[in-house]
Structure 1
Amino acid sequence: MKLTGNTIFITGGASGIGRALAEALHQRGNKVIIAGRRRGHLDAVIAANPGMEAIELDITDPASIERVAKQLIAQHPALNVLINNAGIMQIDEVGGKIDDALLTATIDTNVLGPIRMTSALIEHLKTKQGAVVAYTSSVLAFVPLAVSGIYSSTKAALHSYVLSQRFMLRNSGVRVLEIAPPWVRTELLNSQEAEQAMPLDQFIAETMEVLGTDVDEVLVEGAKPFRANVGPNEHGFVNGFNEQALALFGAA
């Protein structure tokens, strides 16, 4: 995607990867609007980045998503990039009784939220030049972390959804990207000081370099061995499968 001159909306933009992406894109001359639930965190980010804007959003609430989408389109009609970054991760116990609140919150935030957010904005984005929908998934979409099995499964679901949406929007002018980070030093699982995790600034530098190319999947070097786990030619197989399905079912 082009890295300058966009109007970009980033969910989960008040901390971690979302904030770092927002700041990197802001520094490159884009109009950036971030969203999150915590007003104080949002205010801190925009105070540190004059010209950036923020809007409160509960990504688990369909009414909040619809309200924010309408506000964005009205106040920022040039909006052409959506980055679905909001997500939560907790340790769980898939070998035993699952905590239902953890299960529901993780699926609502990591899967239903980005699907609903994109749905609310997609018809607007179809009218814009250089339109992009991006999703922050994880290398755990390809190699699950068993002690966080719910989180890993939500990222696998998101990856599957991305493949379908990219296919269905192939002639629309809207590009669908997937950013799949490895373990990065962020607030997720209190990983800020984890030596094995990738430093956030290094991750952002590598990600921005790849994001500026024409790839559909944004992978830093440390993510590539995990991505290769699914085997070769996944996109070719998925696209061929869907071309056959269109012929069978007569869909456009």
Structure 2
Amino acid sequence: MKLTGNTVLITGGTSGIGLGLALRLHASGNKVIVAGRRKELLDRITSEHPGIEALALDVTDPASIAGAAERARAAYPELNVLVNNAGIMLRENLLDPASLPLAEDHVTVNLLGTIRMTYAFLPLLTGRPDAAVLNVTSALAFVPLPITPTYSATKAALHSFSESLRVQLTDAGVQVIEVAPPGVRTTLLGQQDDENSMPLDDFLTETLDLLREKPDARELVVERARFVRDAEANGSYDTVLAQLGGVRA
């Protein structure tokens, strides 16, 4: 993926990694559209960052996705990059029936949201120069964090989905890139002040540097996420799972 001259749509673009990517990509000479549910946040971002545009979109609602795709087709005919970033991360107690709705919400937002967005927006990307889909998964796709079981499971599913998507799009001219972050200091799971999580600016810098160095990358994994991403391959899976299983915060 080239780093300038794109028209980029980012779901979950009103905070955290999504907003960070939006600001960095806009500053690098891309047209950026942030997508989210809350109009007041979208209005604030477009007001505070002239040149960034917004698209109201709820990834939990198929009709909202379909409507957004039609609006994007009309307003952004040069759209060539989709960043599927929208997601939630909540603790679950698998012994508590009250956690079941939380589990279902993870599947709806993280997994179905990305799948539905991909189906709706691929027709807009196919045939565009330098087209790409970036799916933001997690290092936890490779070893789960037991206090967030369904979050981890949805990210593992998105890793698998991204692999299949890449194969199916081989002849369609659309690059598929998986971004697998470690814990990052954002409001996701309340990690904004967690010293054990990676500062957001550091994550964004290293991730974009990786893409700059290897624009044909299949995965973007910062060094801090490598111990989880590579655990199964290097034989440390059980050790890493035990370590993550000790997280109770």
Per the normalisation by structure 2, the TM-score is 0.90
Give 1:96 deviation, angstroms.
4.7
Per-residue CA deviation, residues 125-156 of structure 1 (Å, 9 max, x unaligned), is 11101000011000110010000001000000
Root mean square deviation, CA, Å: 1.2
**Which residue of structure 2 lines up, in the alignment, with residue 69 of structure 1?**
69
Give 1:99 deviation, angstroms.
2.3
Give 1:52 deviation, angstroms.
0.5
Give 1:47 deviation, angstroms.
1.7
* Identity across matched positions, percent: 49
**Which residue of structure 2 lines up, in the alignment, with residue 136 of structure 1?**
136
**Which residue of structure 1 lines up, in the alignment, with residue 196 of structure 2?**
196
SS at match of 1:90: coil
Q: Is the 8 A contact 2:134 2:179 kept in 1?
A: yes
SS at match of 1:189: helix
Give 1:43 deviation, angstroms.
1.7
Alignment of 1:121-200 (within 5 A): 121-200=121-200
Q: Is the 8 A contact 1:60 1:108 kept in 2?
A: yes
**Which residue of structure 2 lines up, in the alignment, with residue 222 of structure 1?**
224
Aligned-partner Cα distance in 1 for 2:209–2:223: 12
Q: Which has the higher mean CA deviation after the structures are superposed, 162-171 or 25-34?
A: 162-171
**Which residue of structure 2 lines up, in the alignment, with residue 244 of structure 1?**
none
Give 1:94 deviation, angstroms.
2.6
Q: Is the 8 A contact 1:10 1:34 kept in 2?
A: yes
Structure 1 gap segments, 5+ residues each: 233-252
Aligned-partner Cα distance in 2 for 1:158–1:95: 26
Amino acid at match of 2:70: K
Q: Is the 8 A contact 1:94 1:150 kept in 2?
A: no
Per-residue CA deviation, residues 195-248 of structure 1 (Å, 9 max, x unaligned), is 00000010010011112222110111111121112327xxxxxxxxxxxxxxxx
Amino acid at match of 2:4: T
Structure 2 gap segments, 5+ residues each: 235-249
1:47 aligns with 2:60: no
Per-residue CA deviation, residues 23-65 of structure 1 (Å, 9 max, x unaligned), is 0000001000001111111122222211100111110000000
Amino acid at match of 2:7: T
1:83 aligns with 2:97: no
Give 1:172 deviation, angstroms.
1.2
Q: How many residues align?
A: 232
Amino acid at match of 2:61: D
**Which residue of structure 2 lines up, in the alignment, with residue 32 of structure 1?**
32
SS at match of 1:35: strand
Aligned-partner Cα distance in 2 for 1:209–1:113: 28
- Structure 1 consecutive aligned stretches of length 4 or more whose deviation exceeds 6 Å: none
Aligned-partner Cα distance in 1 for 2:95–2:171: 43
Q: Is the 8 A contact 1:94 1:147 kept in 2?
A: no
1:209 aligns with 2:202: no
SS at match of 1:231: helix
1:4 aligns with 2:7: no
Aligned-partner Cα distance in 1 for 2:53–2:29: 14
Q: Is the 8 A contact 2:127 2:172 kept in 1?
A: no
